[in-house]
Amino acid sequence: MTTTQTPTAWPENVIARYFTLAGPSVPGATVDLTHEDMSDTAKATRATCNCCQESGQFEWADQYPRHCRPGYVDYQNQRKGDYNARSWAQSHAETCRALPAPSPAEPEPKRRFWLPGQRTA
Ligand SMILES: [Zn+2]
């Protein structure tokens, strides 16, 4: 396993990423913003700190009925959810001193049982 300082590719659904106090030199020390479905009609922007696992969910002001088009529901305030999530992420990133948990060590190679019958040499 290699540890590099180069930024890793963002997961597909991450829309924004903030460095925590640990800074760019620590891999994984970020707060990530993602969009998530809360239900069929509700969506939210979630900010998750990868260091302390704290997260905040910022629901979009969905169910925004249009009076001129009855029955039409618009996710009009995605911006609002994003904005709230961003400000949470920004202020959390500025204060979070937690370090990301080290990635799990490589699992030990599977030990082969020594079976007398399998010996060939
Ligand atoms: Zn944190």
From the CA of 52, how far away is ligand 1's center (Å)?
4
Banded pLDDT at 93 (limits 50, 70, 90): very high
From the CA of 76, how far away is ligand 1's center (Å)?
29
Of the two residues 62 and 92, the one the predictor is more confident about is: 92
Domain spans of the chain, in order of start? 14-103
Q: What percent of the chain has pLDDT over 70?
A: 67
Q: What is the DSSP letter of 114?
A: -
The span from the CA of 84 to the CA of 80, in Å, is 6
Tens digit of each residue's pLDDT (9 = 90 or more) over 46-72: 999 999 999 999 988 756 566 677 665
The span from the CA of 99 to the CA of 64, in Å, is 40
The span from the CA of 31 to the CA of 28, in Å, is 9
From the CA of 112, how far away is ligand 1's center (Å)?
41
From the CA of 39, how far away is ligand 1's center (Å)?
26
Of the two residues 42 and 4, the one the predictor is more confident about is: 42
pTM beyond cutoff 0.85: no
From the CA of 30, how far away is ligand 1's center (Å)?
8
